[in-house]
Amino acid sequence: MAGSDGRPLALVTGASSGIGMELAREFARQGFDLVIAAENADIELAGTELRGEGSDVTAVQVDLATYEGVEELVSAAGAAGRPLDAVAINAGVGVGGPFAESDLGAQLRLIELNITGAVHLARRVLPAMIARGEGGLLFTSSIAATMPGPYESTYAASKAFLYSFAQALRKELQDTGVRITALMPGPTDTKFFQRARLETPGSDRAGRTIPPSWPGTVWRRSSKEKTASSQEASATRRRSRRPRSCPTRPPRACTA
């Protein structure tokens, strides 16, 4: 449902940079007006840039890791009396390093933003969409949701929660006209890795080297490293194709 000017309205969180900014830009290019949110002052700069796409943009600087912050955003989004046609719940943080040695406050804040804030906002926006019989809700999960994440354990677990949550809501709302989407990006060149301290190796208290978690290593590998990895994988495949009962050198006993 569009506003009186015929333009639909989208809400995007974590929209000051990275994936959130690109989501907001794509909405603008598709003819949406925008409500964008982030906790840092860069959200105002993002708003100025997005207005250049021809959209009416309301920028809200708010901390979505708090109950009050989510409520403030919901109030700001509803201030114009227009329905939300699309909501992209994208705001999130990561914390890198061994869990047992990490800052507990940072880990709890991750849960409050990535999980609690997402559930809170979804619960606030969905009833109106269901009542209208239309709308779309997108959660930014991650390919990290599909596997355990050593040295980013709470981040990977939070993304697994969002993926499961989105799938459950999709089933619940399948006959309502409301669309639920889980966005599953792979490693993306944004400021996320720097903020989460996942860019470079470190060491734990025992002096053991901590490799960068998988998101920070995939797209940063050099051409030389990629070639070496490819050669190693090819050699492994060649070895695996040799029948175990027919080795290259005569064995004392031939076993499967």
DSSP for 221-253 reads --HHHHHHHHHHHHHHHHHHTS-TTS-SS--SS
Q: Spell out the residues 6+ positions from residue 236 whose beta carbon is closer than 8 angstroms to its own.
A: none
Residue 125's contacts (CB-CB under 8 Å, 6 or more residues apart) are 11, 74, 77, 84, 87, 135, 137
Q: Which two tokens stand for residue 45?
A: 């700069």
Q: State the alpha helices, DSSP H only, in the chain.
A: 18-29, 42-51, 67-78, 104-111, 118-132, 153-172, 192-196, 214-218, 223-240
Number of C-beta neighbours around residue 104 at 10 A: 8
Report the alpha-carbon distance of residue 32 to residue 8 in Å, rounded.
Answer: 5
Strands 178-183 and 33-38, bridge-based pairing: unpaired
**How far is residue 36's CA from residue 33's CA, in Å, rounded to a whole number?**
10
67 belongs to the catalytic site: no
Active-site choice (67, 151, 155, 163): 155
Residue 6 burial (CB count, 10 A): 7
Residues acting as catalytic residues: 155
